[in-house]
Amino acid sequence: MDSNNFYVVIEDICERDKRYKPDSYEFVMEGVRFSQLCLKKTGHVSGRELSEGLRELAVKKFGPMAKSVLQYWGITRTEDIGNIVFNMIDKKILQKTETDTLDDFRDVYSFEEAFKNVLSDITLAE
């Protein structure tokens, strides 16, 4: 799918499901690629792998603002990541395996816990 069609489809999704901003879909797509690179995979990543990859990518891109940026986009728990993924599956942007379900994204981590030490993690890494 070319990028122009991607944005047209995302606009359609956002008209139907107003919980998430268009940027959240772009970020999840970026997170799929990021997770694949980190895991050295070329294909499917699980709900858990994607959720963990998106946390790492958010911290890398937004630092201490990661949780706030995700919240602004409507992502406040890992289940939101799953909802976004399955919205894109419904529109044939992403594919799933026979065993993939929305439950794969349920309670992967608490956003409160996952992002609470971001500032100290960044400071320690430098």
Range of the domain at 111: 3-125
Residues 6+ apart with CB under 8 A from 102: 79, 82, 83, 86
How far apart are alpha carbons 46 and 10 in whole angstroms? 22
- Predicted pLDDT of residue 116: 84
pTM value?
0.90
Task: Give SS3 for 84.
Answer: helix
Q: Into how many domains does the chain fold?
A: 1
Q: Tell me the DSSP string of 17-73.
A: -TTS-HHHHHHHHHHHHHHHHHHT-SS---HHHHHHHHHHHHHHHHGGGHHHHHHHH
User: Would you say 96 and 89 are in contact if contact means Cβ atoms under 8 Å apart?
Assistant: yes
Q: Output the tens digit of pLDDT for each of the chain's 126 residues.
A: 666 799 999 999 999 999 999 999 999 999 999 999 999 999 899 999 999 999 999 999 999 899 999 999 999 999 999 999 999 999 999 999 999 999 999 999 999 899 887 665 444 444
